[in-house]
Amino acid sequence: MPRLPRPFAASAVVALAFAGVFAGVGAAPAPAHSSGPLPGYAGAPGDQNCTTCHTGNALNAGSATFVVAPPAFVTPGMQHAVNVSLVGAQNAAKNGFQITARDNSGVFVGSWVVTMTPAAGYNLNKTRNATGNPAYHEHSASGNTLAAWTMGWVAPATLTPGPITFYAAGNDADGDTSASGDFIYVASAKAFQASLTATTPGTWPIGAPQTLTLHVPGRGGDLYFIAPSEDPTPFDLGGGMELQVNPLTGFTALALSTPSIFQGIVGVLDPAGDATATIFVPTEPALIGLPLHFAGVSTTAAYVPTEVSNRVSVVFQ
């Protein structure tokens, strides 16, 4: 690991990350339900999933793609659209899902709102809260004829640090009214409180400077690190926090040893919780076509992670 100059004292966050110091019973089977499963079948930690009732195929073994699409970023107290879909379902006319949202401690947070409402005079909402447990949201009897569903999730006014993870299970049914022959999927996706954005998203021309902006609400004065890596694998920081890239790569070390190219990737968040980094991309043709990934983390002065951001991925051109 390269030795960093003293003015980059906040880069001790990076040193700690390299050293690893940051790390610090199922329910009884139930019958299948065309009007929505019982609570606890969304595939979240501690949950079951729909294979408990729908047998005959291995989990995630079908040819469809199950997509959970929450908001990229969460605003406390606001309603956000969440979409669940089975892309390429074997039977677009008979399907189902269940979803739940957990905070960084694994506790359900927020509340669900039905947004797929019918015309006035018809009580045929396409989604509903699970019977007896509003932590889970699912298809309704009239919603099992769809392959995509949208619902609202209202964030609480106060959130614990860390992203919100949305866990869902989907049933790509074969339509024969039995519980066998259906394909069951599980998937999850995160919505972050901290945001990392690139002024130029997607592709970066060689020879041109590029800007990344990290925003961590309510964490002004914290230390931060915007980690570049060729490996987008999340890295466990402990306490339920994951940096959305792997910093234990040669590229991360290279970036830390060349602050003239990677300017401002370590430092202190301003009072608004913001920081800006500038990447001076060399005029090097060998870079063309290569991907690079960035993710942010903020910490206390004692290097305890306080928030993590989304991942930004770019390709040099």
pLDDT tens sequence across 221-252:
999 999 999 999 999 999 889 999 999 988 88
Two structure tokens written together for 228: 């570049």
Domain 6-23+194-316 classification at class level: mainly beta
pLDDT for 127 beyond 90: yes
pLDDT for 156 beyond 70: yes
In DSSP terms, 83 is beta-bridged to: 69, 150
Residue type, 10: A
In DSSP terms, 225 is beta-bridged to: 266, 297
Report the DSSP pairing between strands 65-69 and 111-114. Answer: unpaired
pTM, two decimal places: 0.82
pLDDT score, position 118: 66
Domain 50-191 classification at class level: mainly beta
User: Which of these, 110, 112, 198, 124, lies nearest to 156 by C-alpha position?
Assistant: 110
In DSSP terms, 293 is beta-bridged to: 229, 313
DSSP tally for the chain: helices H, then strands E: 2, 20
* From 177-181, 191-195, 211-215, 286-290, the region with the lowest mean pLDDT: 177-181
> Are 6-23+194-316 and 50-191 equal in CATH topology?
yes
Q: How far is residue 137 from each of residues 96, 141, 187, 278, measured CA to CA in Å?
A: 11, 13, 15, 42
CA dihedral 131, 72, 105, 243 (to 10 degrees): 150
Q: Where are the domains of the chain?
A: 6-23+194-316, 50-191
Measure the CA–CA gap between 110 and 71, rounded to whole angstroms. Answer: 14
| Residue-wise pLDDT tens digits, 264-273 | 999 999 999 9
Residue type, 91: N
Report the DSSP pairing between strands 202-204 and 305-316. Answer: parallel
